[in-house]
Amino acid sequence: MKKYLEIAKAVSVHGIKGEINALAWCDSPEILCRLKKLYSKDGASRFEVERARPKGSGSAIIKLKGVDSPEAAQTLRNTVFYADREDMPLPRGTYFIADLIGMEVFSDGGKPLGKITDVLETGANDVYEITDGGKKFYIPAIPSVVLSTDVEGGKMTVYPMEGLFDEN
């Protein structure tokens, strides 16, 4: 499991005080706004968040310590920001998408079904895209289908409901 998770991307400068407009790659901009520290990839650089506020749907205005002009903010444009997973506790039974991608999926009988290659957020429930060779299958992320998830072991066990893994 990765220690640092992609959480946002700086897309533009906002105003004249060094603020940036960041596109949130997490469930909501409010989650991004609660963080006090952001990082570059693999934690090589750390940015202290002075203040942050949601801006419309999917983005936030962030002021970082030491970034006090539009010119300084411009140098961060297109920067991908990361969060330390320890700063983002999850409720029991929920997972980071980054931890699910690449996970091996098995039937409740132990048959390998493929790997999770994408997580689609549909509103009602997530849908996991499972790829086996060139074939793609989609399963709903609901308790009656997803029986167990072992993030540390990289393994998910599912009940292959009729029709989910049919090849036709």
- pLDDT per residue rounded down to tens, the chain (168 residues): 889 999 999 999 999 999 999 999 988 899 999 999 999 887 889 999 999 999 987 999 999 999 999 999 999 999 999 999 999 988 888 889 999 999 999 999 999 999 999 999 888 899 999 999 889 999 999 999 999 999 999 999 999 888 777 664
| pTM beyond 0.75, yes or no | yes
Report d(CA 146, CA 136) in Å as an integer: 17
pLDDT at 72: 97
Q: Are strands 135-140 and 126-132 parallel, antiparallel or unpaired?
A: antiparallel
pLDDT at 164: 74
pLDDT at 108: 93
pLDDT at 167: 62
Domains and CATH numbers, the chain: 4-85 (2.40.30.60), 97-158 (2.30.30.240)
pLDDT at 11: 97
Total Cβ atoms within 10 A of residue 119 = 16
Q: Which residue has the tokens 């002009």?
A: 69
pLDDT at 41: 85
Residues 6+ apart with CB under 8 A from 70: 13, 15, 16, 18
